[in-house]
Amino acid sequence: MNAHDSEKVVGTLVGQGYSQVETPEDAELVLYNTCSIRDKAEQKVFNRLDRFKRENKGKTFAVLGCVAQQEGEKIFERAPHVSMVCGSASYNQLPQMLVQLEAGNKRVTGLSLDTEDTFETPYTRRDNPHRAYVTIIEGCDKKCAYCVVPFTRGPERSSTSDSVLREAADLARSGYSEIQLLGQNVNSYRDPSPTGWNFAQLLDGVGKVPGIRRVRFTTSHPRDFTKEIIDAIDRNPNLCNHVHLPVQSGSTEVLRGMQRSYSLEEYMLRIQWMKSAARPIAITSDIIVGFPGETEADFEATLALLDEVEYDALFSFKYSRRPNTPALALEDHISEEEKSRRLAILQEHQRAIQIRRNAQYVGVVAECMVEGFNKATGQWMGRTSQHKMVNFLRPSSDEDITGTYLEVRVTRSGPNSLVGEAVQ
């Protein structure tokens, strides 16, 4: 979401006559887009701002994104060289804010969560010429006990189905063949127009846009994840067979403390739907270890869940206390050392699962979208519909095949990627 926000910001500024440069050193205006999902990420922002100041004297600095929204004007106190602070819900105000800066205002803020949305701006300047992000829903109405997002991105607002379909068709005409639908909870999508589509209906619609060969979506919340979504994947070969469904813990007790609003049994029902789909669906997830109250038995339940689901990949983190969140009221009784121990065990456990799962692909021929060429290894890099990275060789040719689709036979596997050769 942040990467795509940056694409919108760059496009908006370029539309105002600014030009983008490659490094902060070359810039007169430095905009720093930030994430506050974990304490570590937030600390990095202030360290980086300090370094920017030392290395880039005389420039104008702006802080964007979730740290901007969360810390607001306090950023001016901690980093007095910053002139502008703007949360993601206010990016459509950026042109006016920049005018104020140019007019000599020393401090400008855009922190309202109540501004009119621009899911995609006419200027969105996408970094990748083949795969495009499309925001379908902003904000979040859930109240997960550990999460800052409802405070930094505001309540849920969906784009109309008509504008999503128009955007997808425009992208196809511009040469994009893959789109990724984005939102904190894409499956909470609710078309605000009289069409009134839910997320599964939107998937059906986007899956039929001529020229769009692959559709991905992220992120899903288990509570709103319906069987209809799997049925839509079954019906539409253009919908990729990969679902990211964050679970966070394998213990219903911990899930209750996290205010995730589903039990382990309810989560497993969704996994069963995916496992009985017509095409084999790759399943990935997020886990937090060391949430307040997590016992050794709860942690063991999470390891057992990994064995049962056999995730294709996992994003795992240690719990950290975040401002404004309900979990602040809970005692963070698990030491950093213990959280690190659990995280290391979890990641090692998952690594063994990925080695087993990826080995099953050896001998398989898979269609890959070519993402680029790695000069260091002399191999092309491609991505399967299941979101597996395949490094592959093809008969030497100077032709740049980035963005095309190729059949690749998998010859070897590792925990995080596959190796193969292009099928002639």
Q: Kindly determine how many residues on this chain lie close enough to bind ligand SF4 according to the rule CB under 6 A.
A: 9
Q: How far is the CB of 247 from ligand SF4 (least distance, A)?
A: 11
Amino acid at 351: R
Q: How far is CA 86 from CA 20, 62, 112, in A?
A: 19, 8, 9
Please report, in angstroms and rounded to a whole number, the separation of the first and last CA atoms in the chain: 37
- Of the candidate residues 86, 147, 245, 366, the single one contacting ligand SF4 (CB under 6 A): 147
Structural contact between residues 403 and 177, judged by C-beta atoms closer than 8 angstroms? yes
Looking at 75-83, 145-153, 172-180, 332-340, which segment touches ligand SF4 (CB under 6 A)?
145-153
- Of the candidate residues 45, 49, 82, 149, the single one contacting ligand SF4 (CB under 6 A): 149
DSSP track, 69-98: HHHTTHHHHH-TTEEEEE-GGGGGGHHHHH
Residue of 148, 346, 338, 146 lying closest to 256 (CA atoms): 146
CA 376 to chain centre: 27
Say how far apart CA 335 and CA 341 lie, in whole Å: 10
- Of the candidate residues 75, 144, 381, 422, the single one contacting ligand SF4 (CB under 6 A): 144
Strand partners, 379: 374
150 contributes a contact to ligand SF4 by CB under 6 A: yes
Q: Which 153-192 residues touch ligand SF4, going by CB under 6 A?
A: 184-185
Q: How far is the CB of 144 from ligand SF4 (least distance, A)?
A: 3
Which of helix, strand or coil describes residue 158? strand
| Neighbour-count burial of 398, counting CB atoms closer than 10 A to its CB (0-12 exposed, 13-18 middle, 19+ buried) | exposed
Q: Which 90-129 residues touch ligand SF4, going by CB under 6 A?
A: none
Q: How far is the CB of 146 from ligand SF4 (least distance, A)?
A: 7
- Of the candidate residues 64, 66, 140, 301, the single one contacting ligand SF4 (CB under 6 A): 140
- Of the candidate residues 44, 107, 142, 349, the single one contacting ligand SF4 (CB under 6 A): 142
Structural contact between residues 248 and 354, judged by C-beta atoms closer than 8 angstroms? no
Q: Write the interaction track for ligand SF4 spanning residues 297-336; mark x where CB under 6 A is met and - where it is not.
A: ----------------------------------------
Q: How far is the CB of 145 from ligand SF4 (least distance, A)?
A: 9
For ligand SF4, the closer of residues 66 and 301 by Cβ is 66
What is the rounded radius of gyration, in angstroms, for the C-alpha atoms of the chain?
Answer: 22
85 contributes a contact to ligand SF4 by CB under 6 A: no
For ligand SF4, the closer of residues 324 and 416 by Cβ is 324
Say how far apart CA 316 and CA 289 lie, in whole Å: 8
Q: β-strand 365-374 against 379-384: which pairing, if any?
A: antiparallel
Q: How far is the CB of 141 from ligand SF4 (least distance, A)?
A: 8
Which of helix, strand or coil describes residue 266? helix
- Of the candidate residues 221, 342, 383, 394, the single one contacting ligand SF4 (CB under 6 A): 221
Q: How far is the CB of 142 from ligand SF4 (least distance, A)?
A: 4
For ligand SF4, the closer of residues 36 and 413 by Cβ is 36
Instruction: Copy the structure tokens of residue 385.
Output: 């519909």
Which residues contact ligand SF4 by CB under 6 A? 140, 142, 144, 147, 149-150, 184-185, 221
